[in-house]
Chain A
């Protein structure tokens, strides 16, 4: 088993190596990205719109496979397997079982609260009522939603508020005990209070798993992440400790972006 560590002795959970990505129309959205994701840490991706941060995030669970013509080059190594998850021989469904995702807009399924959370388990063939009950409760507690919904688990998920829906989506992703969780601007559709809830939740979640988050809100990246990567035009400009990026970035472009001179 290979475990790579950085200077702080932190374990690398996944790592992109020379990752290029091309959309079906031939545009190159990612250019030679090398970026590690550390275990039990939050890595934030920042950069102006269209810089490729979402494209990069969505490579981690092979979301691009859903659309014909998209092409990856390079590798994303997942540890401890030491396997390139972009390899054609790797089953994208197996990857998604271990690396789950929360989207920009809450996207609950047209089912009850309970069935939303149980969905990932059912997909994996779990139909035992007792096990489902336990896991759903655990996941809802993990997403700090349990107290608000425990008396109405059979209600339609659409009846929840936007913030609650997003926490439901987190619970849904959590129920299958993923190793990495991808967040694609998870609070951009939420009000400030719901945003704080989600941010606190993420800080709690990183005790159990690794998080990669795309955010267009620099304050959010500064508040919650341990590492920050600044991307621009499909390239990774700088990647470092969040503190360092926001107080003393080594690149001029990064400084211009975070101080608001650009972007």
Chain B
């Protein structure tokens, strides 16, 4: 059989195809870059943590309740760091979730256009405040204030930095939750008002459930942010690894331990040095679990309006 004859106007445009291929490749490269960086981080963490776990068993790491890698009697139990991380995160969420959600409801459903356009940028400005500033804010202002109410409170505690961390996270929750509430179609709002609902009833009983997937996503992001927060707790929580969930005691979190070691003069390759990679790996696993949880909740509440 002979080759089919294709007219010049219908034949393939060679130049255009090359261009398309090139663009596709460029896009693939930038997507792959993020994946590469993530893999590199995981590789470094794991490869440095392996010698550590050859010295300390995983069982001891996960069950010992004392963390003293820099003392003469060495213990390598991650639990005090985890308890510190979880407690400060929990206090932060206690502040940020109600405050952020209420702010979002106000901005999305109650505020006039003018108020919203003024308040939102100011709120988002809070995100730009360096966390060092927040740390000293907790140490110099919030903790002394708390000590007036509760005199036994030590200078370094988890309550003050926890609260300040919560304040820091409010804009994240408020901004993201507000976006998802504003994305709820006007038809849904009109439907509720047409039933004789008040503004408050509409926002709480209709708009919030309709926007729940975005709101939950905001919470998850806030948790990840709190778990990873370093400076505030490093400055104001005392860097004392205590296995306690009591917020008035001082403590260290995983991140504040890492930063304190990184700033100190530990020899490279020593067990103390390697311990920060084990701690970092723990942190990575924690945030990974949170992200998976977040993904699952988002799927469960998938937007369906």
Chain A positions near chain B (C-beta within 8 angstroms): 61, 63, 66, 68, 93-94, 96-97, 100-101, 103, 105, 107-111, 119-120, 122-124, 156, 158, 169, 172-173, 176
Number of A-B pairs whose CB atoms are under 8 Å?
Answer: 73
Q: Are B304 and A156 in touch, CB under 8 angstroms? A: yes
List 21 A–B pairs whose Cβ atoms lie within 8 Å, in order of A's numbering: A61-B194, A68-B112, A68-B113, A93-B198, A96-B193, A96-B195, A97-B196, A101-B194, A103-B191, A103-B194, A107-B185, A107-B190, A109-B191, A109-B205, A109-B209, A110-B305, A120-B196, A158-B304, A172-B195, A173-B195, A176-B196
Chain B positions near chain A (C-beta within 8 angstroms): 112-113, 185, 187-198, 201, 205-206, 209-210, 212, 304-305
In Å, the complex CA distance between A96 and B194 comes to 6
Residue of A107, A108, A156, A158 with most chain B CB atoms under a 10 A cut-off: A107
- Which residues of chain B come closer than 8 Å to A107, judged between CB atoms? 185, 187-188, 190-191
CB distance from B301 to the nearest CB of A (A): 9
- Which residues of chain B come closer than 8 Å to A120, judged between CB atoms? 195-196
Q: Are B209 and A111 in touch, CB under 8 angstroms? A: yes
> Nearest A residue to B212 by beta-carbon distance?
A110
Q: Are A119 and B205 in touch, CB under 8 angstroms? A: yes
In Å, the complex CA distance between A120 and B201 comes to 11
Residue of B193, B195, B197, B198 with most chain A CB atoms under a 10 A cut-off: B195
Q: Are A123 and B191 in touch, CB under 8 angstroms? A: no
Majority SS of interface residues in chain B?
helix
- Which residues of chain A come closer than 8 Å to B205, judged between CB atoms? 109, 119, 122-123
CB distance from B213 to the nearest CB of A (A): 10
In Å, the complex CA distance between A122 and B202 comes to 12
> Nearest B residue to A120 by beta-carbon distance?
B195
CB distance from A71 to the nearest CB of B (A): 17
- Which residues of chain A come closer than 8 Å to B113, judged between CB atoms? 68
**Could you list 7 further interchain pairs (A-B, Cβ under 8 angstroms) beyond the known A61-B194, A100-B196, A124-B196?**
A66-B190, A94-B196, A100-B194, A103-B187, A108-B191, A109-B209, A123-B205
Q: Are A109 and B196 in touch, CB under 8 angstroms? A: no
Q: Are B195 and A176 in touch, CB under 8 angstroms? A: yes
CB distance from B149 to the nearest CB of A (A): 38
In Å, the complex CA distance between A123 and B203 comes to 12
- Which residues of chain A come closer than 8 Å to B187, judged between CB atoms? 103, 105, 107
- Which residues of chain A come closer than 8 Å to B193, judged between CB atoms? 63, 66, 96
In Å, the complex CA distance between A156 and B189 comes to 18
CB distance from B109 to the nearest CB of A (A): 11
Residue of A63, A93, A105 with most chain B CB atoms under a 10 A cut-off: A93
Q: Are A123 and B195 in touch, CB under 8 angstroms? A: yes
- Which residues of chain A come closer than 8 Å to B192, judged between CB atoms? 109, 119
CB distance from A122 to the nearest CB of B (A): 8
